[in-house]
Homo-oligomer: A and B are copies of this chain.
Amino acid sequence: MKERDELDRCDCNVIHEDVVNAVREKMPSEENLYDLAELFKVFGDTTRIKILWALAESEMCVCDIAVLLNMTQSAISHQLRILRQARLVKYRKEGKIVYYSLDDEHVKHIFNQGLIHINEKY
C-alpha cells in the first residue's frame, strides 16, 4: 500500500491528508522540477554567474574572460562547457579565437529577479 510505504519512509503520521493530496495534484512533473533544479544549479556558482553577467554585456573570447575574472583559461573553459550544455551561451569561431555570447535573453530577467530578492531583505 502506497500510504503505508510513505509513512514508513517519512517517519511520522500524516497530519493533513487533504492538504497533501491537494498540493500533490498541483505539483509539476518530476521531470520539470528536476530540470528546473539543474538550471539553477548552473547559476549557483560565482564563476559562472560572473561569466554570464560579462557576456550579457558583451561578446568575449575565452582569454578575455580569464583576464577579466583573474582565473586560468582552463578553469574558464571548463565552466563554459557547462554553460554550453545548459544552452545558456553560444559561440562562434574566428581563426583560433572562440567568441562566446549569451544564448538566452531571459537569463537577465532571472538574474534581476534574484537581485530583487537579495536587496529587498534588510
Q: Copies per complex?
A: 2
In the complex, whether A37 has a CB less than 8 A from a CB of chain B is: yes
Q: Does A78 contact B (CB under 8 A)?
A: no
B residues in contact with A87, CB < 8 Å: 121
Chain A interface size, as a band, is 35 or more
Shortest Cβ distance from A108 into chain B, in angstroms? Answer: 10
Nearest Cβ on chain B to A7's Cβ, whole angstroms: 7
A45 contacts across to B, CB distance below 8 A: 37, 41
Contact string against B for A residues 85-102, beta-carbon threshold 8 Å, 1 for contact and 0 otherwise = 001000000000100000
Instruction: List 9 A-B residue pairs with CB atoms under 8 Å apart, sorted by A's residue number.
Output: A7-B67, A11-B73, A12-B73, A20-B60, A22-B57, A24-B68, A27-B57, A33-B49, A33-B50
